[in-house]
């Protein structure tokens, strides 16, 4: 396994539309392992392949809660070529963040429940109802596969402000 660099706003690769995974090759399995390592190291609860500069429709996730001792029982999940096939009219609001937009959090309103279809690491098709944090996280990550970021749901004023902040930081880092 290897840690990958997470690409950060305003990297334009974040706006790419990722391509479907045709077959789960050893390279894809390696990428999934690397994504888990990178996600746990960050730490984060979800990661799309494009965030490590791989434009493939591939997501890793772990929504396991920490207990009082701060220990977690890992629940690693992989979603290959995931799609939302139904969404509720009911909406819910969650404060979202993104490993590609570090230390920035804002409330986003999304469908409270979605039905998601995806392949697992063995290429088997699954369909699941997602609600709560799972629903928010899977919608956020699938957005990444389509070049969409959670800041796209904010007001233009807020979005412009965060873009400016990250553009300035990138310029400073390049100097
Ligand atoms: Zn994100």
* Tens of pLDDT, residues 118-168: 999 999 999 999 999 999 999 999 999 999 999 999 999 999 999 999 999
- Residues annotated as part of the active site: 141
Give the single-character DSSP code of 120. -
Rounded distance from Cα 97 to ligand 1 centre (Å)? 7
Q: Quick one: pLDDT at residue 84?
A: 98
| Separation between Cα atoms, residue 139 and residue 84, nearest integer Å | 8
Rounded distance from Cα 74 to ligand 1 centre (Å)? 20
Provide φ and ψ at 63, rounded to 5°. Answer: -100, 15
Q: Quick one: pLDDT at residue 71?
A: 72
Cβ-proximal residues to 50 (8 Å cutoff; 6+ apart), any chain: 7, 13, 14, 16, 18, 56, 144, 145, 147
Confidence of residue 74 (pLDDT cuts 50, 70, 90): confident
Confidence of residue 66 (pLDDT cuts 50, 70, 90): low
Rounded distance from Cα 174 to ligand 1 centre (Å)? 23
72 vs 14: which has the higher pLDDT: 14
Neighbours of ion ligand 1 (CB under 5 A): 98
Q: Quick one: pLDDT at residue 67?
A: 65
Instruction: For 22-36, write each residue's pLDDT tens digit.
Output: 999 999 999 999 999
Question: E strands within the chain?
Answer: 46-48, 58-61, 77-87, 91-98, 101-111, 113-119, 125-131
Whether residue 59 is predicted with pLDDT greater than 70 in this model: the reply is: yes
| Separation between Cα atoms, residue 145 and residue 125, nearest integer Å | 19
Rounded distance from Cα 25 to ligand 1 centre (Å)? 25
């Amino acid at each position: 396994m290897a840690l990958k660099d997470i690409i950060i706003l305003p990297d334009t690769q974040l706006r790419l539309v990722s391509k479907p995974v045709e077959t789960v090759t050893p390279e894809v399995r390696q990428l999934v392992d690397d994504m888990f390592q990178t996600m746990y190291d960050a730490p984060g609860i979800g990661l799309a392949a494009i965030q490590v500069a791989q434009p493939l429709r591939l997501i890793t996730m772990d929504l396991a809660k920490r207990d009082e001792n701060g220990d977690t029982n890992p629940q690693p999940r992989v979603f290959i070529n995931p799609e939302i096939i139904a969404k509720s009219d009911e909406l819910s609001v969650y404060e979202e963040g993104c490993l590609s937009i570090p230390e920035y959090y804002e409330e986003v309103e999304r469908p409270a429940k979605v039905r998601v279809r995806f392949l697992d690491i063995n290429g088997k098709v699954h369909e699941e109802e997602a609600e709560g944090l799972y629903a928010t996280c899977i919608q956020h990550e699938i957005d990444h596969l389509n070049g969409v970021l959670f800041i796209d749901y904010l007001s233009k004023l807020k979005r412009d402000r965060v873009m400016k902040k990250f553009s300035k930081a990138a310029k400073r880092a390049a100097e």
